[in-house]
Amino acid sequence: MAGNRKTMKRWYLLAALVLLLDRVSKFWVTENFSLGDQWAIWPVFSLVRWHNKGAAFSFLNDAGGWQTGLFIVLAIAFSVFIVREIYLLKHDEHFSGFTYAMVLGGALGNLWGRISEGYVVDFILLHYQTYYFPAFNLADSALFVGACGWIVLIFQDYKNKPAIQNNGTGNG
């Protein structure tokens, strides 16, 4: 049975909050930084303005443009799947709801940029001396948190499933 309205509303609102924070932060960066600008905050943390037409870690960033359409289609399909998963949650599945909300909010945040600008604005840059982690944004952070949560859920599900018994045929 599908979850109640209050349960669904909570997780959809959290996803909307993630989307809002992502859009506001990207707006602030685009209003205050030119493309390629970098502002060192701490020795290991900078704000930048970079545009990413690819996926995580700039995967397929220089693929010629076809990847944008692919990532838009994937994000829409995945978001529809997550909306359905939230709808099916039981009232007490808080960790699942949080996980799905993070994934949905992050996916919609990057989808918005891909549709409206054709790229995603990345602005968080972690580095140490000459080592740089690829720049990312709040939507990416939410997706990462959601992906980690999803891994935990998969392990919990695996752990909680009863072992399949040998059915006596020798095939088991």
> Is-catalytic flag, 62?
no
Q: Report the alpha-carbon distance of residue 10 to residue 164 in Å, rounded.
A: 36
Q: Report the alpha-carbon distance of residue 120 to residue 133 in Å, rounded.
A: 17
**Pairing state between β 38-42 and 45-52:** antiparallel
Give pLDDT, residue 158.
84
Q: Residue range 75-98: average pLDDT?
A: 93
Kindly name the residue from 22, 37, 122, 157 that is annotated as catalytic. 122
Predicted model pTM: 0.84
Give pLDDT, residue 2.
60
For the segment 35-48, what is each residue's pLDDT rounded down to a tens digit?
Answer: 999 999 999 999 99
Q: Residue range 98-116: average pLDDT?
A: 95
> Is-catalytic flag, 140?
yes
pLDDT band for position 157 (cuts 50, 70, 90):
confident
